[in-house]
Structure 1
Amino acid sequence: MSTRLASVVFDADRPRFVANFWAELLGWGVTVDRVDEVDVAAPDPDGLELALTFLPAAGAKRGKNRIHLDLASRSIDHQRVQVDRALSLGARRIDIGQGATPWVVLADPEGNEFCVLEPREEYVDTGAVAAIVIDTHEPVRLAEFWSAASGWPMEHAGAQVAGLRSATGLGSWLEFVWTPDVKCGRNRLHLDLSSFPTDDQAGEVARLRAAGATQISTGDIGGAPGQVLADPETNEFCLLRPASSYTTV
């Protein structure tokens, strides 16, 4: 039994507007466009880029997000082009105390932080999104949980940063970066997992709980039935049933 990472989910005051910003910035396309959900995905069907899902927000953004995206660049010139493009689409520069860094910290039109990285060798083949970054008090411990949840092996582990990547070596990294900040309220961004059609979802919930998750509720998440859980640092995530196991009719 196993689960897979399906998407990064944004709570958004204007889901379609923010989805269009990210689609334009990444060069991706809108694959789902409903009142209650807008999905954006890479155009390459063989790629391992995770989809971005935008749902109506349950509350206002408070403080810095604990999950953000790092965007890859191929050169310093490409980094500048990406920053200029993001600004032209409605992003803005922000100061979160980063000081002088080779990467550029921006916020999307609803204030969600993201970084445009300088060229780095480890991100040359990731596609547009270099990494999905999660703030944590214990990088290795949280990475171990998400390795069990996603099936991605741990590629590096340290006191400040731990990283997972698909065993295929394709697609973005999932990275865990140490922070002293304390989580406050529900995360504005979260991850969705999906079980495989042949798997028993109740068994997958039990497996995730044994790995350190806690179950929050059962319900509909963006129209897809599933389970709402939290990881060992109380970051919410959803375990969705595969599309073949339910109908919207």
Structure 2
Amino acid sequence: MPLRFLAVSFASQDPERVGAFWGAMLGRDPTTGAGGILLAGSATQCGLAFHKASRTDVPGRVHLHLTSDSAAAQQATVERAIGLGARYLDVGQRPEEGHIVLGDPEGNAFCVIEPHNNYLAGTGFLGELACDGTREVGLFWSAALDWPLVWDQDEETAIQSPVGGTKIAWGGPPVAPPDGGEHFIVTASDPAREAERLSSLGAEILAENPTGAIELTDTDGTRFVLMREE
């Protein structure tokens, strides 16, 4: 079985609380898995996970983009999020920009994107994982997951499953140093063999933990975890 993207996992002081927030936002049932609380995805929607860890004041290197079909739907998403414990964030966005920036109950930033955004058309509600990273790491993950590049301009890259859905994007330089707050979780039927293939693509194998999961870093030095497919 090829490498599969399971989830992006966020460091959390209270994984159950933030998992419940995102479960309500995305209409998913939180379960225990992937080293914490897992909101399983689908063939076209990326999974989210939340692992117990101390948080810092360093901004996260991954944030989520939620899409909107209309102005009313965008406002309804914002109101639902605020009612569940989110708050407005000021990250320097300009008044003329159509997206609305919020923070979840633990301050993880996410954007509710304006309607008629052509770039995220047809991606589903969880439209994008927007990551800090170089063009090279976008090429690495394209090869690792066998997902095509759907954007490759001005050092910015994005990939998407061949069946569509959530995009994963990297914004190019400058790139902040990895802080360990978020990491990708991927799965394979033979993790050891897959780790060798990833190493040939430029990943570095760090360690195998007691559960059998293998920790690696991608070409940007960002840690990710390879688990056995269940």
For the criterion TM > 0.5, the same-fold answer is: yes
What secondary structure sits across from 2:139 in the alignment?
Answer: helix
RMSD after superposition: 1.9
Show the counterpart of 2:222.
235
Q: Which residue of 2 aligns with 1:191?
A: 184
2:113 aligns to what?
117
Answer yes or no: is 1:51 the counterpart of 2:50: no
C-alpha deviation, 1:227, in angstroms: 0.5
Tell me how far apart the structure 2 counterparts of residues 159 and 54 of structure 1 sit (CA, whole Å): 32
Which one of 153, 156, 161 corresponds to residue 158 of structure 1?
Answer: 153
Mapped pair 1:207 → 2:165: no
Between the two proteins, the alignment pairs up a number of residues equal to 227
Query: Kindly tell me: are residues 179 and 90 of structure 1, through their superposed partners in 2, closer, same or farther at Cα, counting changes over 3 Å?
Result: farther
Partners of 2:157 and 2:179 in 1: how far apart? Answer: 24
Match status 1:41 vs 2:36: no
With over 3 angstroms needed to count, the CA separation of the structure-2 counterparts of 1:111 and 1:214, relative to structure 1, is: same
Equivalent position amino acid for 1:152 in 2:
W
The normalised TM-score by structure 1 is 0.84
Q: Which among 201, 204, 207 is matched to residue 217 of structure 1?
A: 207
Partner of residue 137, structure 2: 142
Q: In structure 2, what is the Cα distance between the partners aligned to 1:147 and 1:184? A: 20
TM-score by length of 2: 0.91
* CA positional deviation for 1:125: 2.4
Percent identity between matched residues is 31
| 1:129-179: CA deviation from partner (whole Å, max 9, x where unpaired) | 00011112x22x11110011211111120114211111112x201111124
Gaps of 5+ in 2: none
Q: Distance in 2 between matches of 1:62 and 1:210?
A: 35
Displaced runs of 4+ in structure 1, greater than 4 A? Answer: none
User: Aligned with 1:78: secondary structure?
Assistant: helix
Q: 1-side partners of 2:222 and 2:200: how far apart?
A: 16
**CA distance in 1: counterparts of 2:162 and 2:193, whole angstroms:** 24
The residue aligned with 1:247 is none
